[in-house]
Structure 1
Amino acid sequence: MTEVASSVGHFGEPFFMDRPGGLDDPFADLARYRQDCPVYYHPALDQWFVFRYDDVAALLRDERLSADRMKGFVDQAPEAVRGDLRSIEPLLRSWVLMRDGADHARLRKLINIGFNATAVQALLPCIEQAANTLLNGLEGRPASTSAQTTPSCCRPMCSRTSSACRRRIVTASCSGRSTSSTSSTSSRSPSTAPRA
């Protein structure tokens, strides 16, 4: 039997991410770690946690570090799922969160076409219409029914919203609009901006 690493955190109690409900309201825990343990290695997850903004911002700009989380990921996964992971690894490697440098900046620029403040504001009527339609579908259900856990509400809402975003990105890309013509982002260069 494989031994499971302890989930005890720096303060001798369960690490808040391992505690049931720990992520529901993590702010007191985050403040405590920021104050007394700003960099913490958690053996149960085999991960480092960095809690202070300035430290995180510095790490995001440090070229010695990489966003490529796929390096070694497949080989470290349980043998039973390695084949499946290898088949989707090229897709995962293409995600903006897994890219560094010029590749990351290029993908982030494309994403920004559909996800800047102006573009998201333009989606508001579509989002409101989708929400109202789906909420109207909940009428007549027992009061104890949670819209959060209702598959007939949550999945369609996400799907309709992401479809509207995709249409916006494709329309802007096909019309030749650049990020600068639709964006209200800061003037920081991609090399100094935190990754999306």
Structure 2
Amino acid sequence: MTTGEENSELIILDENINQKSKENHQNLADLNDQSCPLLDKKEESLLPELLEVKPAEYECKKLQSKKQWEYLFVPSSSPVVHSCKLPKEIMPRVLEDEGFYIPRKPEICTRSYNKMENRLLKEEGRRGWFDESGQIFSLPSPIKQSPNVRKKIPIKYGSELKTLYKKLKALINATKIAESNLEASQLSRKTLNDYNW
């Protein structure tokens, strides 16, 4: 075969392949065409809630963040006015000024205390959380021990756990040398440095 014949055969093969691919695309287009529905009209009338067609829903990130912030409640740390905490036209009572003994409550950061007051005021039964002085009801000392605390019983340790003290071998050897040679001049600095601890 010559090169001209090979080229003509290749051209014919390319045309056949292109024609087959066009036919396949037409078949796919026919399948996707709405003229041939997947379900019959009877089935569509029986199952209307299952065949609901909607466009894709998309919300931008700004709208999503706004909706999320609507669900969150972030109380302000600004102090609350006494008129909001107490019933109408009632001044707050300071029981210490009236001569009553009031136990000291634990110190709380004012910022977190104000946030707690603002959070409680948003609830339905908001007035029930505050006393006559306009402060939140709380225990005078929540750390106070309850009377049901177990008493500490002294633990008796067994004789196996006793600590034994033994002299260091270096000290024993150094004292033996000192006793054997009573003269202090014979103890050299070198012998004592050998037994450094």
Q: Higher RCO, 1 or 2 (CA under 8 Å, sep at least 6)?
A: 1
Larger CA Rg, structure 1 vs 2: 2
User: TM-score normalised to the size of structure 1?
Assistant: 0.17
Bigger helix fraction: 1
User: TM-score normalised to the size of structure 2?
Assistant: 0.17
Bigger strand fraction: 1
